[in-house]
Amino acid sequence: MSIDRFVAQSIGRWKSQRSAHSLAFQHFEAVLSTIDILPVELSDRRAIDLCKAYDIDPAQMSSPFYMQWEGTSDWDDDQVMKGSTVLVPIPDSSDATKGRLLREQGYAETMAAVGEYHFTDDGTFVLMTPYDRASAEERIWFVNPNLRFRVSSIKTSEGTGVLTASFSSEVRTAQ
């Protein structure tokens, strides 16, 4: 699997069901959301600025994309959670199965983040993102072209304790 193919497969509108587990307290959270994933031009100012923020030559970008989401949680039905971010893959020049992923804003914190990704031999995308006091691992794979699963976990920087785990099943409703 290459990042270009992975991004191409991800373009569209996805209906997402997410369950989050707080491991210490055995709490469940259920989130329903709509996720839109759109391609971004290589000439896009946001993508170029993101490269520059990390001292990376914009010529190294491959398949930048834009994600926006809007959803509600069963913990607080009244509040709509929404957000958007530009993501820029920087594939490794010597190995197409891995690289870095830059994003304007992380999931766990409201700051820019850079993660390292690789693909396993069965095509699973694995992303590790270090944050200030925690790190996130995300695994995404396609069950079929219109269904993908995503498992995320967040652990403390010390690396021992996993705090939360979440699972999303995402069904594509439009391309």
Considering the complex, what minimum distance in angstroms separates the CB of residue 164 from a copy of itself? Answer: 9
Q: Which of 55, 57, 121, 158 binds a copy of itself (CB under 8 A)?
A: 121
Cβ proximity of 120 and 98 under 8 Å: no
Query: Checking phi first, is residue 39 left (phi over 0); if not, alpha (psi -120 to 50) or beta?
Result: beta
Near a copy of itself by CB under 8 A, which window of 3-11, 27-35, 51-59, 107-115? 27-35
Considering the complex, what minimum distance in angstroms separates the CB of residue 45 from a copy of itself? Answer: 37
Residues 29-58 that bind a copy of itself (CB under 8 A): 30, 32
**Judged by CB, which is closer to a copy of itself: 8, or 30?**
30
Cα dihedral 133, 100, 87, 148 sign: negative
Determine the Cα–Cα distance for residues 175 and 69; give it in Å rounded to an integer: 16
What is the per-residue DSSP string for 56-114? --GGG--S-EEEEEEEEETTEEEEEEEEEEEEEEEE-SS-TTEEEEEESS-SSSSS-EE
21 binds a copy of itself (CB under 8 A): yes
Residue 47 three-state SS: helix
The strand pairing partners of 81, in sequence order, are 71
Give residue 17's Cα distance to chain centre. 15
Q: Which of 4, 5, 8, 23 binds a copy of itself (CB under 8 A)?
A: 23
Residues 135-154 that bind a copy of itself (CB under 8 A): 137, 143-144, 147, 149, 151, 153
Q: Which of 42, 56, 96, 162 binds a copy of itself (CB under 8 A)?
A: 162
73 binds a copy of itself (CB under 8 A): no
Contact positions vs a copy of itself (CB under 8 A): 15, 17, 19, 21, 23, 26, 28, 30, 32, 74, 120-122, 124, 126, 137, 143-144, 147, 149, 151, 153, 160, 162, 165, 167, 169, 171
